[in-house]
Structure 1
Amino acid sequence: MVRPFIGKQEIWFSMRTTSRVTATARAGMVYGMVEQIFQDCRDMSETEEYIRTLEDALTTSDGIISGQDDLITILKRQHELRRVTDALTHYSEFSAFIRTQAEKLRDIGRRIEDLNHKAILNQGRLAEARDTRNELTEAIKQIASMATGMMTMANQAQSIPPSPSIPVDETPKFSEIMESYAESKSKELKNERDSRVMKVTLAQFLEIVGDKPLASYKGKDAHLFIETMRRLPNNYGKNSITPVPILDSIASADFQEKHAGKDIPRLSDATVEKRVTFLRSLWDYMRPIGHVEKNIWKGFKFKSEKVRAVEDWSEENLTRLMNYPWTTRTFSRTTYAFVTAIAAYSGMRQSEICHLRCEDFVHTDDGWMIYIQEHPPVMVNGKEVKFSPKSEAGERVVPIHSELIKLGLIKYVERMKKAGKTFIFYDLKPAGLDNLLSHNFQHGFSRHKIKAGVTPENVFHSFRHSVSTILRNEDATIREVWIDAVLGHIGDTSRKSQGVTTYLHQIGAKNLKKTINRIHYPESFQIAKLFE
């Protein structure tokens, strides 16, 4: 009978707590009170039979009123303790909501008073109805009091100012923190290449977006950087010591594609995502300091790219590689043959082989060994060359396979030592941004294998895969830890970075030599043809 007056099926009323238990208790009390009021109204509007039963219902009214007093006390204490913390972030919406609900409660009270008045006029001869009117009036006053209290709380919440935003002018500019952040972050990165890429990324962001206070950067700035990097040619900065401006490089690539019909490869999404990772870390670093309110780099999506699988060398591709004559002039046939042979009979990485020094070849009681270890930088052709193993497990001892000795590797190393050479492959010159000796070899080998007709799934790194497969298919006498030790896999966690001498003592030279000598290939693989 009340619904036509208020135009709603139900009324929502906040219990002002995040605790389910407290909210349930409060809701139960309020529900009981309101339900009793409506039931009394229904009873009064029907037959005298319901009115007679009203006397029994009124006996419980004292408990309801007492419960309302407790509820008011709880709400007042809750108000004193919580200080309307929820209103700090949503005070405007909360205030409007409370006002609306208070008005609805007052409207309900007015409607109930009208019903009471009509009931008393129609059934004025009943003394019980007069008592009921008094009880209902008291209940209405309690509801009105609750609404007034909530209005006061809403007004107080509205007077609490929101948390201030970070003043833009008080935060440092990007250029002011870029170098100090890069220096501290470089200590956490795995290798020098990642450190260099991070510094380049910070400089590219500065070039593309511009220098301004950190707090003033928005999501649109992050979007501009990402979209610009996606258009950047993938060889940008690789062929020039002083690269051209980024926008000029993009414009040149666009022109060549449009007018010269060339297809200029751009940076992949995987590469762009890695660059964004460095910037996202910078913003995460600046948030606790108070220089930025949020990380503008979160939420961007990047396409996942399928990584080309590297497979073991097939017998067909090995035959093609062996039989194709060496024609590259960047470095000698001898260097090409020995680097390839060492990879095939040790599983060493390309960079490890190309940076081998004469002093890394050591004769022990158990035969010739290669010590893969870090050396101080040296100058080669006016460029500083430095190399360190890829990981802690990369510093290791690798016995020299008998096939390599047959090919004359030790005699070659002795000749280089007598000639005063530091690196055994002295004709490999430093190149690339990192001044690596392996840079030119990698490109030369790739061109050679393509000319030889080797299919794409086999690359230089496939020798490492092949050695791993060959050894792991051996019988149980070749232990997994020995294989990891030879290949320099991080799986050998017992050693950490203890130095090659301690490492050799712990693993055992005989076990390493036994592992190396299990490397074998099909008879069709004639390694000596590489030198012809």
Structure 2
Amino acid sequence: MIYGQVENLFCFLSGGGALPEKFDLKNYLLEMVKLHPSDFKEDWLAGASAGIDVKKKYLSGASDRFLQQFVQDVDGRNAHLLNEIQRLGAELEAAKAAGNHEREGQLLALLGQAISKIPDMSQQAPAAPVMHHQIPSRISSVPFRDIANRYLEIKRASVSIETYNHFVAACSLFGRFTDTTRELHTFTRKDSSAFINVLRQMPKYWGKSPKEETMTLGEIVAYHRTRNPGYVTLSTDTMSRHINKMAEIWSYAISIGELDDKKEYDIWSKHMVTAINEQTVDRRPFKETELAALMETLWKPRININTVRQIISVATYTGMRLEEICRLRPCDIHEVEGVLCFDIRIHRDADGKEIWNPKSEAGERLIPVHSYIKNSTGLIERAKNCEKSKRDRIFFDLPYAASTNKYGAAFSQRFSKFKKDAGLPRETTFHSFRHLFRTMLGHRSDGLN
């Protein structure tokens, strides 16, 4: 970074710039150090790692003194690396608070580089049996709050917005009923079981009212039971998702050496997860009478009716998921061996970075374009016009929901109201078009073929 600053000065001067008469290069560079302390990584780290690698070769049969020194070298190297990560985290918080987005991006990149240097503990040589005195394992003193915040910062840059929000929700709920300043190693299976018991009692739609922000668990449950005696609790899937997110945080703490990899700290696995009053709805395909009811119902504005017709037509004749349809680009409709197809694949930006991925491995596929879509919907002409006008997406009029990273969110909400206006039951959703397509192909075994 120092070399970069000096280079910038030379470029400035060679371009005709002029420095102040009393410009002090030394003080200038010292100021840069104060502004960007985390950019100055000592060569000590690389040297320490090299020394550790050399000593590994001589562990077998080595004296206690040599083994003790080796362990101290490893601990010192790891402590230095963790200190670097903590310092980066603190700088990142300061950059965010100051609204310095450019520096925030730089720090996230540096944080990723530092984390990538965390040694793979599976490759470390095991303690030799000749040691007479075992070095006591270090017990973490890091509070849950700190380790969770650090992990959330890492996930922010590596997962979708929806997945990141799942992490935030799990941590927020855990923090709502737990002392987050407790040191991580003090939590036991009794604590995780208590949290799971909280999850089992939580109403499915909790947190919608400001009144609940100061309520205890008992008060929240009583509040919802008063409004709905048969209130629905969180589903088993939602509970399992929260538990899995918490388990990831514990695994992260172990991976960076903040928590010992011991059985007693495995507090999130092998729990029996059952909901108290889970609301399950068996989604099914539309019936002919229900399709007729949809056709006779007035579609209210906000989303263009032609867009609605084309999206529903694609869903009906391809079985594609809503988000797959809403993200269709002009280049996703092309011929394959003489057959016009929808090409469902990973979307990447100009730099090759993945920005959207189909739901599963089976999500990437080619789907022939039905003759009805070709001849009666105007979709192909729309795609060609979008290509000429350099539109990124065919359904460019759909708004983007940043909170979920989806283009189909607004359409889904609007279709839900449309379906209710048509008098259709809860078992039907937009996904019922996918079930309908599957039924028409004879791929169902529940008597609905």
Which TM-score tier does this pair reach, normalised by the shorter chain? 0.5 to 0.7
Residues 229 and 267, structure 1, Cα contact 8 Å, conserved in 2:
yes
Report the more deviating stretch, 424-433 or 200-209: 200-209
Is 1:437 the counterpart of 2:413? The answer is no
Pick aligned residue for 2:370 from 396, 401, 417: 401
Is 1:271 the counterpart of 2:244? The answer is no
Is 1:316 the counterpart of 2:297? The answer is no
TM-score normalised by length of structure 1: 0.47
Name the SS for the 1:198 alignment partner.
helix
**Superposition pairs of residues 13-32 of structure 1, within 5 angstroms:** none
Name the SS for the 2:264 alignment partner.
coil
CA–CA distance in structure 1, aligned partners of residues 271 and 218 of structure 2: 28
Pick aligned residue for 1:461 from 431, 437, 444: 431
Structure 1 residue 388, shift from structure 2 partner:
1.6
Relative to structure 1, the CA distance from residue 389 to residue 273 in structure 2 (aligned partners, 3 Å threshold; closer, same or farther) is: closer
CA–CA distance in structure 2, aligned partners of residues 294 and 365 of structure 1: 56
CA radius of gyration, larger in: 1
Q: Hey, what does 2:348 align to over in structure 1?
A: 376
CA–CA distance in structure 2, aligned partners of residues 390 and 268 of structure 1: 21
Paired letter, 1:389: P
Residues 310 and 457, structure 1, Cα contact 8 Å, conserved in 2:
yes
Residues 181 and 282, structure 1, Cα contact 8 Å, conserved in 2:
yes
**Superposition pairs of residues 34-45 of structure 1, within 5 angstroms:** none
**Superposition pairs of residues 200-211 of structure 1, within 5 angstroms:** 200-209=169-178, 210-211=180-181
Q: Hey, what does 1:391 align to over in structure 2?
A: 360
Q: Hey, what does 2:329 align to over in structure 1?
A: 357
Relative to structure 1, the CA distance from residue 229 to residue 333 in structure 2 (aligned partners, 3 Å threshold; closer, same or farther) is: same
Residues 372 and 395, structure 1, Cα contact 8 Å, conserved in 2:
yes
Identity %: 27
Residues 214 and 292, structure 1, Cα contact 8 Å, conserved in 2:
no
Is 1:296 the counterpart of 2:267? The answer is yes
Paired letter, 2:360: S
Is 1:347 the counterpart of 2:319? The answer is yes
CA–CA distance in structure 2, aligned partners of residues 468 and 450 of structure 1: 23
TM-score normalised by length of structure 2: 0.55
**Superposition pairs of residues 84-95 of structure 1, within 5 angstroms:** none
Paired letter, 1:319: A
Name the SS for the 1:331 alignment partner.
coil
CA–CA distance in structure 1, aligned partners of residues 394 and 230 of structure 2: 40
Structure 1 residue 340, shift from structure 2 partner:
0.6
Relative to structure 1, the CA distance from residue 447 to residue 368 in structure 2 (aligned partners, 3 Å threshold; closer, same or farther) is: same
Pick aligned residue for 2:441 from 471, 479, 482: 471
CA–CA distance in structure 2, aligned partners of residues 276 and 246 of structure 1: 22
CA–CA distance in structure 2, aligned partners of residues 365 and 270 of structure 1: 42
Question: Structure 1, residues 128-162: CA drift from partner, whole Å, max 9, x if none?
Answer: xxxxxxxxxxxxxxxxxxxxxxxxxxxxxxxxxxx
RMSD: 4.3
Unmatched 5+ stretches in structure 1: 1-162, 379-384, 475-521, 523-532
CA–CA distance in structure 2, aligned partners of residues 473 and 225 of structure 1: 41
Question: Structure 1, residues 384-430: CA drift from partner, whole Å, max 9, x if none?
Answer: x9422112231222221100112221122223334442221122111
Structure 1 residue 268, shift from structure 2 partner:
3.3
Residues 313 and 463, structure 1, Cα contact 8 Å, conserved in 2:
yes
Structure 1 residue 303, shift from structure 2 partner:
2.5
Q: Hey, what does 1:337 align to over in structure 2?
A: 309
Residues 282 and 427, structure 2, Cα contact 8 Å, conserved in 1:
yes
Name the SS for the 1:345 alignment partner.
helix
Q: Hey, what does 1:177 align to over in structure 2?
A: 147
Relative to structure 1, the CA distance from residue 467 to residue 473 in structure 2 (aligned partners, 3 Å threshold; closer, same or farther) is: same
Structure 1 residue 342, shift from structure 2 partner:
0.2
Structure 1 residue 290, shift from structure 2 partner:
3.9
